[in-house]
Amino acid sequence: MARLISADPLRNMLGFVPGRSAAEYRDHADRLLSESDDPFVRQVCDWWQTPECWYAYESKAGAIWWGNNGGPSEYAKKLAEVVPSYPKVPSVSVKARTPCFCCEKDLFKSDEEVKLCVLSCACSTWYMHVKCRSDFVFPRCFKCSSLYSDTIITKKLSSL
């Protein structure tokens, strides 16, 4: 087993390298585990089956997070020194049009809670103003011919 474990912490990933597929990681882990039942080998193999480990190789913040949340802290510290740092991505606000299925006017004027009617059939879900539901007279879907069912909900646009 001594040949598998290096004294250099950046080499202690037992031949696992970033950029491979999950199947390749699993196959490599199976080969290592067939040679050894050492708990360290099992731990490294388990780490490489998680997305958290993969993210650690993509950014400095990912490496630091992994080291603080169950990953190898010393290894992650050294890894954070060599992986790139990315600027924080600014949040983007997008104006979404949310038309009523019946009258086609916007369901939301802002991000306030609004009562909506949700109309469902076998193929689709439609949203409309509660007052528009009484004007909507079709009992069956025009696409799949199943009967509509409806319910009233209170939602914000951001939580719909």
Question: Which of 28, 57, 82 is the last residue before a domain boundary?
Answer: 82
What pLDDT score does 100 carry?
92
β strands within the chain, DSSP E = 114-120, 125-129, 149-155
Other CB atoms within 10 Å distance of the CB of residue 86: 11
111, 116, 119, 124: CA torsion to nearest 10: 0
Phi, psi of 72 (to 5 degrees): -75, 110
Same domain, 22 and 78: yes
- The H or E element that residue 99 is part of is none
Same domain, 58 and 105: no
Q: How far apart are CA 108 and CA 97, in angstroms?
A: 9
What pLDDT score does 49 carry?
80
Q: How far apart are CA 158 and CA 3, in angstroms?
A: 55
Same domain, 65 and 104: no
Does position 112 have pLDDT exceeding 90, yes or no?
no
Question: Which of 62, 82, 102 is the last residue before a domain boundary?
Answer: 82
Amino acid at 89: V
Cβ-Cβ contacts under 8 Å for 134 (sequence gap 6 or more)? none
Residue 1 in any domain: the answer is: no
Helix (H, G, I), strand (E, B) or coil at 157: helix
Domain count, the chain: 2
What mean pLDDT is predicted for residues 135-146?
88
Does position 67 have pLDDT exceeding 80, yes or no?
yes
What pLDDT score does 47 carry?
84
Instruction: Give the max Cα distance, the chain.
Output: 78
